[in-house]
Chains A and B, each alone.
Chain A
Amino acid sequence: SQTIHQWPATLVQPVGSPLSLECTVEGTSNPNLYWYRQAAGRGLQLLFYSVGIGQISSEVPQNLSASRPQDRQFILSSKKLLLSDSGFYLCAWSPTGQGSFHSRAETQYFGPGTRLLVL
């Protein structure tokens, strides 16, 4: 069966410090990977998604970046954190849809999340 891991679970960082959040998936190959942020107001915002190694798409301009160095590893980074980066970060994966390019909008499965507090 497939599992998704995120770490750390909780992180408190000062403003201006760097950030690295890691997400790994087990039990599947070539998954689509996603980073979401959930702010205090509850809404979920898609930050980045990746359909393959080295392929990153950004949804909103921001202080964050993402990388996919391996098939099942997705990393969220920042060189200098802002107060507004605080939130709950969720990683998700979905199976690659049939066909090379068209997504079948497969179900996304979420990790346990990382709570980030920037002070």
Chain B
Amino acid sequence: AQKVTQAQTEISVVEKEDVTLDCVYETRDTTYYLFWYKQPPSGELVFLIRRNSFDEQNEISGRYSWNFQKSTSSFNFTITASQVVDSAVYFCALSVRRYNQGGKLIFGQGTELSVKP
């Protein structure tokens, strides 16, 4: 069975601090995909990044960076120099390949990030 754990329920930082959101996943599949989504107060889930299990290269996009480590089954997300607009709930998700199942996402419980001015 697949599982995603986001142990941090809530994180509060002051603007300009760096913050790391943890994500640990479980799967027996060798081919899988990992995602991060952002859910601002408006409610819509915004796609941030997708990674496949064969690509452990870390990625940086502006103030966002992701650290994928298969050895520890982790896919952590770091925001550098956080801003108030980063305040949201962040979800980590996992998907595996299955016959004719459209790529179902298994979500973690989310981490609520509050960035205070």
CB within 8 Å for A108 and B103 given contacts A42-B89, A42-B110, A43-B109: yes
Q: How far is the CB of B3 from chain A (nearest CB, A)?
A: 12
Q: How far is the CA of A62 from the CA of B96 in the complex (A)?
A: 25
Interface presence of A24 (CB below 8 A): no
Interchain pairs with CB closer than 8 A, number: 75
CB nearest neighbor in A for B107: A44
Interface presence of B16 (CB below 8 A): no
Q: How far is the CA of A104 from the CA of B46 in the complex (A)?
A: 20
Q: How far is the CA of A102 from the CA of B47 in the complex (A)?
A: 22
- A47-74 CB mask vs B (1 if < 8 Å, else 0) is 0011100000101000000000000000
Chain A: residues with Cβ within 8 Å of the partner, total of: 31
Q: How far is the CA of A105 from the CA of B51 in the complex (A)?
A: 11
Can you sample 22 A-B contacts with CB below 8 Å?
Answer: A34-B105, A42-B89, A43-B110, A44-B91, A46-B105, A49-B101, A49-B102, A59-B104, A101-B99, A104-B97, A104-B103, A105-B95, A105-B96, A105-B103, A107-B35, A107-B50, A108-B105, A110-B37, A110-B47, A111-B44, A112-B44, A113-B43
